[in-house]
Structure 1
Amino acid sequence: MPGRQVRFSTENTFHSPLPQLSWSNSSATSSSGPPTPPTPPYADLPGPTPYAPRRSYTDSVVKKGHAHGLLAFSDSPLLIYDMSLHPSLISTHYLGVSSAGMLEPAVSPPQPSISISTPYLPWSIAVSASNGLYVTVSDVLTSLYRSLRINVTPAEFTALGTEKLMRRATASYTQRYTWLKGHCGYTEEQQQGVKRVDFLMGCTQFRGLSSTGSADVWQLYIS
């Protein structure tokens, strides 16, 4: 596009743009991909409380054909999650939400793998069970972040089809790395170029998942 320089990279990187976004107690990030955390990165979520939660959800029992309460589609979801940022920054306004819920089945009936789609992306997001048994809430949140950190190819960028959409994706990319100005990682994020998350045109707030009628295919809602 005239007047704008769009960068593309052939290397997909998943490490965090800011130091505080890295996994807790993990080894240094390698260029081959993100480290596997020994413990869930959601330790900052509030633990059990003697007070009644402002909004309840069921930890262990998910209604058949529904997503876990932490992932279920809602206009006011339990988790505050900007998918352009590392999952360790997830927070919540609700009492009673604990980190233990992150290890529970993401959907019911539990599935060894699921696919997440949204009309805002030309790709589906594959999620596999890290425990070898069923996809957890943590698996979903981590897979969303990692998938959206994949670099966009020039062909994929052109496939947006219109100059207006290309400008919007470029503006999202520019805003994303400009936000880091003055912080460690600014230059690196700029040089890495456009990523899949930029195709969301700045609408990166997680609103939840809903069933498509298939046990292993779920729709992602964003705002």
Structure 2
Amino acid sequence: MSKSKRVQFAATNIVYSDGSESSSPALSVSSLPSSSSPDLRTPPNEEDEDYQPAVYPRTPYTTHQDLFPDLAIPVPVSKPIQIHFLLAFSPFSEPAVNYDLSLPPTIVDGQYPPSAFAESATSPPLPSLLITHPLLKYCLEVVPAASVAGSYVSVMDVLNSLYKELRLPIHPVEYAELTDVEVRHAVDAAYYSRCGRIRDVEARIKEERKGIKKVDLLMGRTRFMGLSGTMNGPETWELNVL
């Protein structure tokens, strides 16, 4: 049979003083009262005017009037930025436009009139946009085609900018940073596949000599699926591809 162990308590309290410069604990001079002592003191009533809490004094909550002293003045609320439905990303439905980012945007199907692509890319209109993607190292900046006062980014500006920016060749340093072997093989395969779709032999050889482009960093996923909002501000949107 195992022997039972008894727990004993120290006869004095150890009090750590907040204001003391020493890190050593100080011993209180009072001894612990016996549990059978009839003179055991109870905490004073908080309603007593002379009551002062020893530690952690209560802080009254700030009233609603303190937070908003002049309730007659309305608090301004910023209007959210909305993307045009032709550019909007919808994860559970097909994109509004059928567009391959490796081809010029003039290939966009004729389901919608040209006037729809001239409309503002966002509501309210913005003078510029930034487009990001996890596989692209830098943001793509979109500005209006006509740089005049009051101009805004249109739907076609977004598609044109995506095509032009993704057609730029990548720097050798950027290619060297593809340390993942599978990722590099996927980028190479996207490059050869893109060039292989060119039927004209001379044009295909010319395109191959231009090297890997930013669109190849998408690893063959060049179908435009739309733009979705980010936490980086109303002017920054993320590109979704398939």
Smaller-chain TM-score bracket: 0.5 to 0.7
Q: Given the alignment of the two structures, is residue 193 of structure 1 paired with residue 208 of structure 2, yes or no?
A: no
User: Is residue 67 of structure 1 aligned with residue 83 of structure 2?
Assistant: yes
- Describe the superposition over 1:127-162 as per-residue Cα deviations: whole angstroms up to 9, x where unpaired: 001233100001000000000001011110111221
Q: Of residues 128, 143, 146 in structure 2, which corresponds to 1:131? A: 146
Matched with 1:100 is 115
Distance 1:89 1:184, change over 3 A: farther
Indicate conservation of the 8 Å contact 1:66/1:210, yes or no.
no
Distance 2:228 2:218 in 1: 18
CA-to-partner distance for each residue in 1:148-201, whole Å, 9 max, x for gaps? 001011110111221211111011101111111445511111111100000000
Q: Distance in 2 between matches of 1:221 and 1:196?
A: 15
Query: Does 1:82 pair with 2:100?
Result: yes
Between 1 and 2, higher relative CO (CA 8 Å, sep ≥ 6) is seen in 1
Structure 1 residues 140-155: aligned runs within 5 Å = 140-155=158-173
CA distance in 2, matches of 1:189, 1:204: 17
For the residues of structure 2 that align with 1:171 and 1:211, how far apart are their CA atoms? 30
2:222 is aligned, of 183, 204, 209, to: 204
AA in 1 matched with 2:116 = G
Matched residues, percent identical?
Answer: 36
Structure 1: gaps spanning 5 or more residues:
1-62
Please report the TM-score for the alignment, with normalisation by the length of structure 2. 0.62
| In structure 1, distance between residues paired with 2:129 and 2:200 | 39
Could you say what the CA RMSD is over the residues aligned between the two structures, in angstroms?
Answer: 1.6
**Are 1:158 and 1:166, in contact at CA under 8 Å, matched by a contact in 2?**
no
Deviations 1:111-136 (A, max 9, x none): 11110011121121100012331000
Q: Provide the aligned length of Structure 1 versus Structure 2.
A: 158
One-letter amino acid of the counterpart of residue 73, structure 1: F
**What's the secondary structure of 2:193's corresponding residue?**
helix
The residue number in structure 1 matching 2:135 is 120
Counterpart Cα distance in 2 of 1:79 and 1:181: 25
C-alpha distance in 1 between matches for 2:81 and 2:135: 23
Matches within 5 A, 1:162-201: 162-182=180-200, 185-201=203-219
Q: Whole-Å Cα distance in 2 between the matches of residues 211 and 65 of structure 1?
A: 9
Q: Residue 71 of structure 1: CA displacement?
A: 0.6
Q: Secondary structure at the match of 2:85?
A: coil
